[in-house]
Amino acid sequence: MFEVLILAIALSMDAFAVSIGLGSKQATSLNKLAFKAAFYFGFFQGVMPLFGYFSGKGISSWVNDYAPWIAFALLIFIGGKMIYESFAEGIEEDISQVTHRVLLTLAIATSIDAMAAGYAITLMDVNVLIACLTIGVTTAAFSWLGVKIGAKSGTLLESKAELLGGIVLILIGFKVLL
């Protein structure tokens, strides 16, 4: 279960970074934005690994011998992408108003990584529903916190969160392989 918590924290760093950016832009209704970000990001980060898990289970009989290598490659790719994005300007810089549509789009975009990581859950000895619930709740908490931190500190921590998340995913990838 410790492995799932580390995975949940690493996966939530994308949403955390975006939430910091959103919080740094929001002048009013900070609590409302924090709640909405927590709901949207937490929900999608919690649900998307299920898709990866079930698709991984569906093809596991065909690729069973290569499953650790596939999980390793996916986690290395996701982690590398997060590290790369930590050096780029965030998408939330172009957002002028935070609407439900914007939050939905950002939630889906940040949770695609979680769908790919769901494949790695097939290799863990955990209940998938508890794993997904852990990922969703952790992401919701980090998203809420991200909005609050962003309002206080601006975007200072935004790229560092993505960088840390990417490094942790790469380390998990090596652990899966070993």
User: Which pLDDT belongs to residue 14?
Assistant: 82
Measured CA to CA, the distance from residue 101 to residue 146 in angstroms comes to 19
pLDDT value for 162: 67
- pLDDT for 155: 59
Q: Phi and psi of 29, rounded to 5°? A: 55, 45
- What domain range includes position 171? 2-177
**Residue 64: what pLDDT?**
66
Q: Check residue 143 and give its pLDDT.
A: 95
In angstroms, the CA 159 to CA 17 distance is 7
Residue 15 Cα to chain centre, angstroms = 6
Q: What is the 8-class DSSP label of residue 90?
A: P
What are the pLDDT tens digits along the chain (178 aa)? 788 898 898 888 888 888 888 887 766 788 999 999 999 999 999 999 999 888 877 776 676 677 778 777 877 887 787 778 777 665 545 555 677 888 888 888 888 888 888 887 887 888 999 999 999 999 999 999 999 988 887 656 656 666 777 777 787 778 767 7
Q: Quickly list DSSP for 43-89.
A: HHHHHHHHHHHHHHHHHHHHHGGGHHHHHHHHHHHHHHHHHHHHTSP
Q: Looking at the 3D structure of the chain, how many domains does it have?
A: 1
10 Å CB burial of residue 73 (0-12, 13-18, 19+) is middle
Question: What is the spatial distance between Cα 106 and Cα 113, in angstroms, rounded to a whole number?
Answer: 12
pLDDT at 106: 85
What confidence score (pLDDT) does residue 83 get?
79
**What phi, psi does 88 have (nearest 5°)?**
-100, 160
Distances (CA, A) of 106 to 18, 67, 131, 143: 8, 30, 22, 12
Residue 146's contacts (CB-CB under 8 Å, 6 or more residues apart) are 15, 16, 17, 18, 19, 20, 22, 23, 37, 161
Give the CA distances from residue 152 to residues 2, 20, 62, 160, in Å, rounded to whole numbers and listed in that order.
Answer: 31, 9, 50, 16
- Strand, helix or coil for residue 28: coil
